[in-house]
Amino acid sequence: MSERTLVLVKPDGVSRGLVGEVISRIERKGLHLAALELRTVDRATAEQHYAEHDGKPFFADLVEFITGGPLVALVVEGTRAIPAFRQLAGGTDPVEKATPGTIRGDFGLEVQFNLVHGSDSPESAEREIKLWFPNL
Ligand code: DAT
Ligand code: MG
């Protein structure tokens, strides 16, 4: 059954010129793009997006980072799109958890600068797609 997930190419991915690489991997996996936009996000949206991490020691840096430059927001669609993109992205820590062959494993070094976001559950995907693309 087809489902949708919210993907971000975070500001580090944009500044490093990896937007095409990420989109290429999404398309080669067989997933489809349902929405795509380059945008610089405000603090309120960033805080809502990462609300589950409010209060954690890295929260302030995370919001600072994600609002610090343009990012690319996408809605990606396809069979098992949510776990499929998480698989493409690799684990949160690009060195300790993400394996080579994944986006983070191939291009990331630091946890904070791990290049991409992908919704982690159907509930998160619904919430995040509403936040980023309210008209979709
Ligand atoms: P993911 O992005 O794999 O879903 P997450 O939801 O646990 O990971 O965390 C959201 C983001 O917060 C993550 O992509 C990078 C940052 N982050 C997580 N844990 C961190 C830590 N220990 N130190 C610094 N940044 C962290
Ligand atoms: Mg997460």
Name 101's bridge partners: none
Judge contact between 110 and 125, C-beta under 8 A. no
Structure tokens at 52: 């589950």
Judge contact between 79 and 36, C-beta under 8 A. no
User: How far is 22 from 9, CA to CA, in rounded Å?
Assistant: 8
Answering whether pTM is above 0.95, one says yes
Which CATH superfamily does the domain covering 2-132 fall into? Nucleoside diphosphate kinase-like domain (3.30.70.141)
> Is pLDDT of 1 > 90?
no
Q: In degrees rounded to 5, what are phi and psi of residue 102?
A: -100, 165
Ligand nearest to the CA of 12: 1
- Percent of the chain past pLDDT 90, that is, above it, reads 99
> Is pLDDT of 94 > 90?
yes
Residue of 47, 50, 58 to test ligand 1 pocket, by largest number of atoms within 8 Å of CB? 58
Query: How far apart are the CA of 49 and the centre of ligand 2, in A?
Result: 9
